[in-house]
A and B are shown apart, each in its own frame.
Chain A
Amino acid sequence: MLDSKIPEGTLADKWDNYKEHVKLVNPANRKKLDVIVVGTGLAGASCAASLGELGYNVKSFCFQDSPRRAHSVAAQGGVNAAKNYKNDGDSVFRMFSDTIKGGDFRSREANVYRLAECSANLIDQAVAQGVPFAREYGGYLNNRSFGGVQVSRTFYARGQTGQQLLLGAYQALMRQVGANKVKTYTRHEMLDLVVVDGKAKGIITRDLVTGEIERHAANAVVLASGGYGKVYYLSTLAMGCNSSAIWRAHKKGAYMSGVSWIQFHPTCLPQSGEHQSKLTLMSESLRNDGRIWVPKKAHDDRKPNDIPEEERDYYLERRYPTFGNLAPRDISSRAAKERVDAGCGVGVMKNAVFLDFSKAIKEQGKEKIKEKYSNLFKMYDKINAVNAYETPMLISPAAHFTMGGLWVDYELMTTIPGLFALGEANFADHGANRLGANSLLQASVDGYFIAPYSIPNYLAGELKAEKITTDHVAFAEAEHAVKEQLQQFLNINGHLSADHFHKTLGKLLYDGCGLSRTKASLEKAIVLIRQLRAQFYTELKITGDHTVNSELEKAGRVADYLDLGILMCEDALSREESCGAHFREEYQTADGEALRNDKDFCYVSAWEWKGAHAEHELHKEPLIFENVSLTVRSYK
Chain B
Amino acid sequence: MSETKNILLVGVGGQGTILASKILAHVALGQGWDVKMSEIHGMAQRGGSVVTQVRIGTKVYSPIIEPGEADVLVAFEQLEAYRWIHTLRPDGTVIINDQKIAPLPVVAGAATYPETILDDIRAKVATAIVVPALSLATEAGNSKATNVVLMGVLASVMPDVPAESWQEALEANVPVRFLEVNRKAFAAGFACER
B is a partner of A:
no
